[in-house]
Amino acid sequence: MRAYGRLSALALLLALVAAACGSAASAPVAAKRTIYMTALEYKGTTEVAKEAFPTSKLPEGAGYVRKAPQGATWETSTYRWEPGSITVYQGDEVELQIFGVNGANHPSKVEGYEQAFVVKRGELTTVSFKADKAGIFRILCGTHAPSMTGTLVVLPRA
């Protein structure tokens, strides 16, 4: 697991423990939470003379792309949700406002809530649901797996 992955997992674990140990008075009252997200594609290029084109196998799916050298340069790209993790409390009304920057479309869903939606380039997509189940749920793009996977953390109300 990469260092940032371990730190994210540790921060999430600490947040869940703190929420579970707190009193009912420590959790805010249920509210509408609007979270602004973006569908992005990160790109990088380099020159063959500086870095050899890698030959390692990439995971299945269109989330990671590596384009063979075109002349003196080669390119990489990956798709991501930003922010990659969002946190709400159980009972909150959640509204995701997701703007598509890159990629023609992203057929997606919030696992555990079965919220299916499509984010299109240049459009704002609204996804609304009640966070009625505590836990950790993936936000998945069906086209750009595995890299375009976000996390919805629903903290329990004590």
Structure confidence by residue, pLDDT tens digits, 104-114 = 999 999 999 88
**Token pair 């084109």 is at which residue?**
53
Q: Is the dihedral of CA 129, 85, 111, 19 positive or negative?
A: negative
Please give the Cα distance from 84 to 82 (Å, whole number).
5
Contact between 82 and 37 under an 8 Å Cβ cutoff? The reply is: yes
pLDDT at 19 > cutoff 60 = no
pLDDT at 129 > cutoff 80 = yes
Q: Strand ranges (DSSP E) for the chain?
A: 32-47, 64-70, 73-82, 85-89, 93-100, 105-110, 115-120, 124-130, 135-141, 149-155
User: Of the ranges 10-14, 35-39, 96-100, 119-123, which one carries the lowest mean pLDDT score?
Assistant: 10-14
Question: Homologous superfamily of 3-42+78-155 in CATH?
Answer: Cupredoxins -  blue copper proteins (2.60.40.420)
pTM: 0.79
Structure confidence by residue, pLDDT tens digits, 40-65 = 999 999 999 999 999 999 999 999 99
